[in-house]
């Protein structure tokens, strides 16, 4: 039987408001893969967790198993990627990274390699010159790692292949293309 409490490092992929003061976070964790976690009371102005659970933040977190969603009990920022958040083009690519991982992975499936790729590409985003090449390399690594593309085979149209895999258009791609041309 699994323990009621658990902890890991993770990257916040997305969040959405829930009830009056709560948020549901989608976190891609190192140990547990993609998780949906309930952050109780974080929308209140005096919440101490509020700044720690922003999108793109790499965090140490603890959670407790709940009846429906697991509840995040502690969160501490490891890296907020503040320098990335100051550049609109880089933020667009970072959103693309988050959306891609969220759509191509399933809840609770462990993918430590994907976590490491995501962390690595967010770090590369800080100083990489060609954002388009970085985005295309990220798609290639993501698809190869998950078994959707053979390793070593050239990927001519990465955006099209990714959209075919997720069977849904990616909105952040379009923004990224306009900004990166």
Model confidence at 179, in pLDDT bands (50, 70, 90)?
Answer: very low
pTM for the full model?
A: 0.86
Q: 10 Å Cβ neighbour count for 152?
A: 6
Residues 53 and 93 in one domain: no
Render 66-118 in DSSP notation, one character per residue: -SSSEEEEEEEEEE--HHHHT-HHHHHHHHHHHHHHHHHS-BT---HHHHHHH
User: Is the CB of residue 91 less than 8 Å from the CB of residue 50?
Assistant: no
- CA distances (Å), 85 to each of 14, 21, 90, 91, 95, in order? 15, 25, 7, 6, 10
Model confidence at 172, in pLDDT bands (50, 70, 90)?
Answer: low
Range of the domain at 114: 82-180
User: Is the CB of residue 107 less than 8 Å from the CB of residue 35?
Assistant: yes
Residues 89 and 176 in one domain: yes
Domain termination residue (choose one: 42, 61, 79): 79
pLDDT of 147 over the 50 cut: yes
Residues 34 and 100 in one domain: no
Give the lowest-confidence range in 11-20, 46-55, 87-96, 100-109.
Answer: 46-55
Mean pLDDT of 92-121: 92
Residues 125 and 48 in one domain: no
Residues 44 and 105 in one domain: no
């Amino acid at each position: 039987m699994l323990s009621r409490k658990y902890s890991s490092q993770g990257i916040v992929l997305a969040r959405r408001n829930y009830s009056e003061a709560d948020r549901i976070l989608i976190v891609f964790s190192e140990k547990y893969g993609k998780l949906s976690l309930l952050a109780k009371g974080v929308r209140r102005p005096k919440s101490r967790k509020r700044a720690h659970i922003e999108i793109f933040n790499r965090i140490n977190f603890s959670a407790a198993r709940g009846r429906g969603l697991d509840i995040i009990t502690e969160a501490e920022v490891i890296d907020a990627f503040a320098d990335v958040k100051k550049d609109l083009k880089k933020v667009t690519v970072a959103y693309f990274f988050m959306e891609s991982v969220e759509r191509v992975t399933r809840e609770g499936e462990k993918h430590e390699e994907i976590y490491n790729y995501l962390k690595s590409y967010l770090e590369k985003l800080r100083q990489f010159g060609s954002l388009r090449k970085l985005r295309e390399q990220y798609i290639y690594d993501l698809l190869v790692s998950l078994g959707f593309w053979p390793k070593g085979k050239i990927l001519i149209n990465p955006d099209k292949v990714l959209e075919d895999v997720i069977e849904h258009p990616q909105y952040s791609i379009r923004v990224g293309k306009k900004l990166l041309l």
